[in-house]
């Protein structure tokens, strides 16, 4: 039985990967020390998801509560499994655009140094393992904002005749723009993963995600907007929309669709490759459009306010062009459109959210 190592294994992408590859008969080693709780507070903890994975998968899943920055821990783990490791999915990260500015050193060491530590352990002990890195569209900084956007009733949009109407591809520049410190740390990791593929010939792939989401997302105010938006709608928590008249557009891809894309890479790997992967024109929305859809699915109004101050370096419009990925992996299909995606988030979390809300409001 081959081994799949997943960092950030209790998070959104990590947990989806754990479940998917366990279904495929692999032995899974998950690395996650719940730094998300430190970043965003108890509500964002992934402990509930870790417990669910352990209960569901039993001995097929081994959880390691280690930090990816810990060279000794990574060395010990990869030395133990060696060339039995067939796939490494590196999803551990500090994921917030906003949080990074509060502690740039932690952001950079987790995202960049942690990636280097894991890459080196893989190169030393299992260099033939496929290495997939979850990067981000934030590596492009605010360069997408130079597109000639037109204001519509509910969104910013491109003219259909524009070459980028189908989305932003991998040729978008990654420098000479404002990224946020998070974007900068992810660029460092992104380029490292490419270099280990090109320089050392390792089968590494960079996936630059749009908005990644799904029912396993511990969404919070500073990260995971779609899951958090649905949670606020379902439970009555207040929500703030920042800037661009609420018409900023994001594409959104379900974690299951993303992991199936990872599986295609695993089965036919390349070295040092880069792909934009997101909801594309198949699954995208503005904030205003997302709010309306959440309200319809939850059957209640969202308590939301608007702030005219947008986040520095944020995108006004971002839709992924996946032509390159689909050209390399024509068998992959995206299944979850936006209504399906939001319904899945709601149906699998509404009861847990309600219970947590009751517990927080109960007298001490």
Q: What is the largest CA-CA distance in the chain?
A: 60
Question: Which pLDDT band, with edges at 50, 70 and 90, does 182 fall under?
Answer: very high
Separation between Cα atoms, residue 254 and residue 335, nearest integer Å: 8
- CA 144, chain centre distance (Å): 19
Query: Counting beta carbons within 10 angstroms of the beta carbon of residue 62, is it exposed (0 to 12), middle (13 to 18) or buried (19 or more)?
Result: middle
Mean pLDDT of the chain: 95
Element (H, E) at 342: helix 338-361
**Cα separation of 126 and 129, whole Å?**
6
Domain 3-361 has CATH 3.40.50.720: yes
The dihedral through the CA atoms of 354, 357, 358, 359 has a sign that is positive
- On the 0-12 / 13-18 / 19+ scale of CB atoms within 10 A, 347 is exposed
Given this model, what pLDDT does residue 312 score?
A: 78
Which tens digit of pLDDT belongs to each residue from 112-144? 999 999 999 999 999 999 999 999 999 999 999
- The answer to whether 51 and 45 are in contact (CB under 8 A) is no
Question: Could you tell me where the DSSP H helices lie in 205-333?
Answer: 225-235, 255-267, 287-298, 323-328
pLDDT at 172 over 80: yes
Task: Note the pLDDT of residue 309.
Answer: 87
pLDDT band at 72 (very low <50, low <70, confident <90, very high): very high
Q: Is 335 helix (H, G, I), strand (E, B) or coil?
A: coil
Q: Which residues does residue 204 pair with via DSSP β-bridges, in sequence order?
A: 131
pLDDT tens digits, 269-286 = 999 999 999 999 999 999
What would the pLDDT profile of 308-336 be if each residue is shown by its tens digit?
A: 988 877 899 999 999 999 999 999 999 99
Distance CA 59, CA 53 (A): 11
**pLDDT tens profile 200-249:** 999 999 999 999 999 988 777 767 689 999 999 999 999 999 999 999 99
Q: State the pLDDT at residue 219.
A: 73
pLDDT reading at 363 higher than 90: no
Q: What does the pLDDT read at residue 113?
A: 98
Backbone angles phi, psi at 289, to 5 degrees: -65, -40
Question: How many residues does this entry show for the chain?
Answer: 364
Q: How confident is the model at residue 364 (pLDDT cuts 50, 70, 90)?
A: low
Rounded-to-integer distance, Cα 62 and Cα 5, Å: 10
* Secondary structure E strands in 179-303: 204-209, 211-213, 239-242, 249-254, 273-277, 284-286
Of all residues in the chain, the percent with pLDDT exceeding 90 is 88
What does DSSP say about strands 156-157 and 150-151: parallel, antiparallel, or unpaired? antiparallel
- Which pLDDT score is estimated for 98? 86
The pLDDT assigned to 362 comes to 67
Secondary structure of residue 155 in the 3-state scheme: coil
């Amino acid at each position: 039985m081959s081994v799949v190592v997943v960092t950030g294994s209790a998070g959104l992408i990590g947990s989806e990967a754990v479940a998917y590859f366990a279904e495929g008969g692999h032995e899974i080693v998950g690395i996650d020390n719940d730094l998300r709780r430190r970043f965003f507070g108890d509500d964002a903890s992934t402990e509930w998801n870790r417990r669910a994975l352990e209960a569901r998968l039993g001995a097929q899943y081994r959880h390691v509560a280690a930090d990816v920055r810990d060279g000794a821990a990574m060395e010990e783990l990869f030395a133990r499994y060696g060339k039995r490791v067939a796939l490494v999915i590196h999803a551990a990260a500090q994921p917030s655009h906003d949080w990074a500015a509060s502690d740039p050193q932690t952001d950079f060491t987790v995202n960049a140094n942690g990636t280097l530590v894991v890459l080196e352990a893989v190169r030393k002990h299992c260099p033939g393992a496929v290495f997939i890195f979850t990067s981000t569209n934030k590596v492009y900084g605010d360069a997408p904002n130079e597109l000639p956007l037109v204001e519509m009733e509910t969104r910013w949009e491109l003219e259909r005749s524009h070459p980028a109407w189908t989305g932003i591809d991998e040729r978008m520049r990654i420098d000479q723009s404002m990224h946020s410190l998070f974007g900068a740390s992810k660029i460092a990791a992104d380029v490292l993963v490419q270099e280990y593929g090109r320089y050392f010939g390792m089968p590494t792939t960079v996936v630059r995600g749009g908005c990644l989401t799904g029912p396993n997302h511990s969404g919070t105010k500073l990260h995971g907007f779609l899951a958090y938006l649905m949670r606020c709608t379902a439970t009555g928590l207040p929500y703030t929309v920042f800037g661009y008249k609420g018409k900023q557009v994001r594409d959104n891809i379900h974690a299951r669709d993303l992991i199936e894309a990872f599986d295609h890479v695993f089965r036919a790997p390349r070295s040092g490759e880069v792909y934009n992967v997101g909801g594309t024109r198949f699954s995208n929305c503005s904030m205003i459009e997302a709010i309306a859809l959440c309200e319809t699915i939850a059957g209640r109004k969202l308590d939301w306010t608007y702030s005219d101050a947008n986040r520095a370096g944020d995108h006004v419009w971002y839709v992924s062009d996946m032509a390159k990925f689909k050209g390399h992996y024509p068998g992959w299909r995206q299944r979850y459109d936006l209504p399906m995606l939001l319904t899945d988030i709601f149906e699998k979390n509404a009861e847990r959210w309600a219970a947590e809300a009751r517990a927080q409001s109960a007298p001490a």
